[in-house]
Structure formats: C-alpha cells, structure tokens
Amino acid sequence: MARINLEHIRHAYGLRLSNPNDYALKEVHHEWNDGGAYALLGPSGCGKTTLLNIISGLVQPSEGRILFDGKDVTHLSTQERNIAQVFQFPVIYDTMTVYDNLAFPLRNRRIPEPEVDRRVREIIEMIGLSDWAKKKARGLTADQKQKISLGRGLVRSDVSAILFDEPLTVIDPHMKWVLRSQLKLIHKQFGFTMVYVTHDQTEALTFADKVVVMYDGQIVQIGTPAELFERPSHTFVGYFIGSPGMNVMPATVTGAMASVGDQSIALSGAPKLAGQSKIELGIRPEFVRLGREGMPVTISKVEDIGRQKIVRAQLGAQPIAIVLREDGEIPADARVTFDPAGINIYADSWRVSNS
C-alpha cells in the first residue's frame, strides 16, 4: 500500500485555459496516508471523478505531480501504478464462474495456486458469495455481479491503492448498508489505502476515517466525520454535511460579541479577523436552543421526522433551522439561544478561529 502525494494538481479538459474558473480541478495539494480510508465527497461536477482518474492514471493532469511512496508516477499507466479499481457498474467476465472471476487478477500475476485459493476463499466469504462460487457470473443479479467487482478489487494484497467510483450505486439500499460496513471491516483487517468517491454523505461518513470534501474543483476540508460536523472549515461544508445543514447568518463582530440584525450574541472568544469584510456566523441546528429565553423567533414550519423535529423559524429577517428532540416543546412565545461552543465564524466563507 502507498502514501499518496498530490502536488499542485490542476486540470482543464481540452485546452489549458487562462481563466482559473474553467479548471475542473483548481489546486489540489495534499498528502494522503498509507493505509488511510478516504472518501471524496461533493456535489455533482465538483471534480471527484477527475481527481480519482488522475490518481489512477486514466487522466493526465494539466499541471502538477502524483507521488506514490515518494516515487513520481505522474506519467505511469494504471497498470504500472499497480492500482485496483471498482467502478459504478460491474466489470466482470460473464462466462467465468464467480471463483474464477476473483482468481483471475491473481493468476494473471502468477501467484501460486494455493495462495490464489486462500485469498479467493477469504474474499468470497466476505462479500457473501460463497454459495455461488461455482456459478457462472452470467446468471447472477446486478447486485451479485457488483459484489464480484468489489471482490476483484479487494482480492490482491500487493496493490498501491484501491479506488472506488460510486461502487454501490446499483446495489439495493439494505445491501448497501451491509457492504459499506463490510468494506470498513476489510479496511481495518488489511490496511489497504482506499479512495472512495461518492456524493452521498451517509456513505462517506460510514466508510471513511477521513472525508475529503470537494467543492468547485477544490478540496475544502479533509477531516473526520466529527471534525466536519463540529468545525466545518468552509460554509459549504457546513451546508453540505448534516441534515438540515448549518445555519449561516451575516453578522458584524465587535470583540467577543456578534450582531445578527438587531440581536447581540456572545461568542466564546474574540475572533482573529484580518480586516475581512464578510463575516458570517455558522451554527448547526442541533446547537440552537428553543425555549422561553433569548431572542424572539417566529415559527414558520415544524417537520416531525420520528426521533426529532426540525423547526423552521425566522429570527428577524434571518431564516434558521432548529433541531428539537422528539419530546421537545415549542412554546407559544418562542425564543432561541445559541450554544457558544457551537458557533463558528467565517470570513469570506472560510472559518476563522475565535479563541
């Protein structure tokens, strides 16, 4: 397995462009640990697949270098990079048995047959296809075929990294849960470097130990699920992670006090602002307390989603979302307070420290 260094990667499809906004990837510069499980998460068109294809060698970046364990692989093919890939749709041999499909990548590398047998049995068990080992792939369901694809990605132990591009799209919802947690177990057991592209936050948060959030051709944050939730480094991360996303409110700041409209809010410390003009307060709906104290709000909508209620309200001209426990009450004369520990401050969309 390999440590992956992405050095000043930029990519424009077709001609190199003079306008930086026309780059599919604008500037990606990061080191990903050997044995890490990374999920690339972001909305459609933000550059996830482009970055994955640059790592695999399917796309040559317009600028920058890729290193595996310190070795420059920018101009090497996928095979030379020793990468395993699992795509959105099954890539298997229909006329071979399930067993032979899994054995193929190993036999191709002239691995001794007893070792092939040991690996194939181990993986076939993990993906839940032991009973189908001798069946031809042709007769299997779409779910089962995609499991074979996953198995083919996981069967080799000598790869630099395994790349997954939305591999669970064709799998039914229940089986998605099962396979996602199985992938996590496999990662723990074998310590593969895994990179997993998805636009589904639940999928990213359950699979990865580090989630790489992409937005508009850039990586805006790499963090654990808890870090993304508690300290979103960019307002986009706040909106995108969580349901509903973070409340973002235009504000002015004086020392350790912030004003939203005509309301004053105490912060946990004075933010370090370097003359930025656009200040915003970010607070997750889970950190807004609804009761009889604090700032008056007008409730516009209550959505009961089982274990909790999502309350939509107006704080002056500012719409806010509040998450209430299922048994939480909504007083007639509702007011809100913000938990200072849950307030993040943003200048020009990026988080600034307030300690």
Compute the least distance from the CB of residue 55 to ligand ATP, in Å: 12
Q: Of 43 and 250, which CB lies nearer to ligand ATP in the complex structure? A: 43
- Read off the amino acid at residue 355: S
Contact 76, 23 (CB under 8 A): no
Compute the least distance from the CB of residue 219 to ligand ATP, in Å: 12
Is 274 exposed, middle or buried (CB count within 10 Å of its CB: 0-12, 13-18, 19+)?
exposed
Report how many residues bind ligand ATP under the rule CB under 6 A: 11
Compute the least distance from the CB of residue 138 to ligand ATP, in Å: 29
For 15, phi and psi rounded to 5 degrees?
-70, 150
| Backbone region of residue 314 per phi and psi (left: phi > 0; alpha: psi in -120 to 50; beta: other values) | beta
Compute the least distance from the CB of residue 36 to ligand ATP, in Å: 20
Q: Of 42 and 167, which CB lies nearer to ligand ATP in the complex structure? A: 42
Q: Of 217 and 285, which CB lies nearer to ligand ATP in the complex structure? A: 217
Interface mask toward ligand ATP for 247-286; x: CB under 6 A: ----------------------------------------
Q: Is 26 in the site for ligand ATP (CB under 6 A)?
A: no
Compute the least distance from the CB of residue 13 to ligand ATP, in Å: 3
* R_g (Cα) of the chain, nearest Å: 24
Interface mask toward ligand ATP for 190-219; x: CB under 6 A: ---------x--------------------
Contact 222, 295 (CB under 8 A): no
Q: Is 234 in the site for ligand ATP (CB under 6 A)?
A: no
Compute the least distance from the CB of residue 28 to ligand ATP, in Å: 12
Q: Is 44 in the site for ligand ATP (CB under 6 A)?
A: yes
Q: Is 42 in the site for ligand ATP (CB under 6 A)?
A: yes
And the tokens for 319? Answer: 């719409």
Compute the least distance from the CB of residue 332 to ligand ATP, in Å: 45
Which stretches of 77-131 are assigned E, i.e. beta strand? Answer: 83-86
Q: Across the strands, what pairs with 70?
A: none
At 179, which helix (H) or strand (E)? helix 173-190
Enumerate residues 6-25 that contact ligand ATP by CB under 6 A.
Answer: 13, 24
Q: Is 49 in the site for ligand ATP (CB under 6 A)?
A: yes
* Binding segment toward ligand ATP, per CB under 6 A, in 26-34, 48-56, 108-116, 122-130: 48-56
- The rounded distance, in Å, linking the Cα atoms of 239 and 232 is 9
Residue choice 46, 148, 154, 195 for contact with ligand ATP (CB under 6 A): 46
* Binding segment toward ligand ATP, per CB under 6 A, in 46-54, 67-75, 227-235, 270-278: 46-54
And the tokens for 134? Answer: 């001798």
Query: Which pairs with CB-CB distance under 8 Å and at least 24 residues apart come from 57-63?
Result: 57/81, 57/83, 59/11, 61/9, 61/10, 61/11, 61/25, 62/10, 62/11, 62/12, 62/16, 62/23, 63/8, 63/9, 63/10, 63/11
- Read off the amino acid at residue 220: V
Q: Residue with structure tokens 């071979």?
A: 96
Contact 55, 66 (CB under 8 A): yes
- Read off the amino acid at residue 286: E
Q: Is 45 in the site for ligand ATP (CB under 6 A)?
A: yes
Compute the least distance from the CB of residue 12 to ligand ATP, in Å: 9
Q: Is 50 in the site for ligand ATP (CB under 6 A)?
A: yes
Q: Of 24 and 345, which CB lies nearer to ligand ATP in the complex structure? A: 24
Residue choice 39, 41, 48, 282 for contact with ligand ATP (CB under 6 A): 48
Task: Write out the residues near ligand ATP by the rule CB under 6 A.
Answer: 13, 24, 42, 44-50, 199
